[in-house]
Structure 1
């Protein structure tokens, strides 16, 4: 680990968070490259790091592990452009941080002798992030890079799991549901509450601890055992009342039914089929 010298290409939210976290963990950040000029106020905070606009073009300017933290759509072009500057990249490791792309998107670098991998943090990242503790990274690619990344994540007090290249887009879609759609659910909570004249901000403050508690249950008990409420109990009249009250908001009613149908399936998995669950399913249909 002492010999790991790191460069970062792309100083958006992900790149900035890696710069912060790796510096705190005393990694040597040799250089940071960005499409546009980097603000001097950022550079001044990291006196041991060279900041440059543009892409790496000389071996002496980069570490042995280069993290490509550019946008998903830019990864392939950036890797090709970097590769075009070098006769060979033997001894260098490149890893991108996209959730949807596999390491194959870095093939131009591999053709020059570099080892490649994907290294995706399953975390909502902001520029001010200063820790990856307990974050899971899905990784795949060349064995040499995977070993290096596994060692790095241990030092960050994070975790990794290896995936096959073809699993990446499915896993990323699942991560979108886990993160982005949780925000959508919170919005749904506030909108339904507002139909009863409960202020949206109060509803969210009241429901957020419930959401936290449910997530904790999922973590410790699993999905099926964490399902509670009227569907799990088979309370037909309660569900019917919900549906009646949402008749004037077709959008909310439709979402409630779609999600309710999935909850019925989980309830059947947990408790087995029952006449009440069949009736609730019919209500959602």
Structure 2
């Protein structure tokens, strides 16, 4: 993989933490012809390197940073939620990983960057570019909002999809078939949101004011034991629908398929 990274030739990077992200980072950086030490297990000795990147759980960062500090010119972590109190910079890839991804794993994804000094921030930016990612700035003040956005876009989406699968199963559709049948709808919805935003992309009974259908859906959700989730999502969806109708009113016959 060729990159336009401005990392100095011969830069060494030690990756501490052999979990999913640590393994992928090591693989991709090596593919970019950067010298990588590791990934190092948490019980192994940390080698000296120009950059030591901590790929450990958030709760372990402070303790591992104490051990790693004397081995690094620049010390960083890959957490999106943890501040820079114990490191020089952070690089958080805005993506989910299984640990098996190949050399293009970071190509064109976002990478949140922060640094305690301009030089440390440049290190994070150069690493992001070396990976093929697009660096963008998120400071400590805004970490909670940024990381919550990532959780809504990934973790909570899975919660909603699991509930959709549960309801489809209750309708007599086998699990694997339910996922296959729902997947095209999910993909198109994400594409529409990407292009136009939630208010413009919203369809369905709440968008068209069909409260009778909403009530029947809620009854089905109650039978599946997810009525609290349904109520919370319905309330949030009504707020989105209100933003939409404030711009373009939706008639009762529009977009009735979903």
1:31 Cα deviation after fit: 5.1
Which residue is 1:102 aligned to? Answer: 83
Specify the alignment match of 1:163 in structure 2.
Answer: 138
User: 1:120 Cα deviation (Å)?
Assistant: 0.9
**Which residue does the alignment assign to 2:21?**
14
Aligned partner of 1:109 in structure 2 is none
After the TM superposition, which of the residue ranges 11-20 and 26-35 deviates more from structure 2? 26-35
The aligned length equals: 241
- Residue in 1 aligned with 2:31? 24
Spell out structure 1 runs of 4+ moving beyond 4 A.
273-277
Any conservation in 2 of the 1:97–1:119 contact (CA below 8 Å)?
yes
CA distance in 2, matches of 1:276, 1:179: 29
Equivalent in the alignment of 1:74:
60
Q: Which residue of 1 aligns with 2:150?
A: 175
Quote the residue 2:226 is aligned against: 252
- How much has 1:227 moved relative to structure 2? 1.0
- In structure 2, stretches of 5+ residues that fail to align are 1-6, 252-258
Structure-2 change in CA distance of 1:31 and 1:156 (3 Å):
closer
What do residues 193-243 of structure 1 show as CA deviations (whole Å, max 9, x unaligned)? 122222222111111111111111111111211211111111222212223
Cα drift, residue 156 of structure 1: 2.5
Structure with bigger gyration radius: 1
Distance in 2, matches of 1:239 and 1:274, equals 21
In the TM superposition, residue 2 of structure 1 has moved relative to its aligned partner by 3.9
Change (3 A) 1:65 1:204: same
TM-score, structure 1 as length reference: 0.77
Deviates more, 1:200-209 or 1:149-158: 149-158
Aligned-residue Cα RMSD (Å) equals: 2.4
Of 217, 224, 231, which residue of structure 1 is paired with 2:199?
Answer: 224
The residue correspondences of 1:1-285 to structure 2 (distance < 5 A) are: 1-3=7-9, 4-30=11-37, 32-36=39-43, 53-56=44-47, 62-83=48-69, 85=70, 92-106=73-87, 116-130=88-102, 131-141=105-115, 142-249=117-224, 251-272=225-246
CA distance in 2, matches of 1:174, 1:167: 11
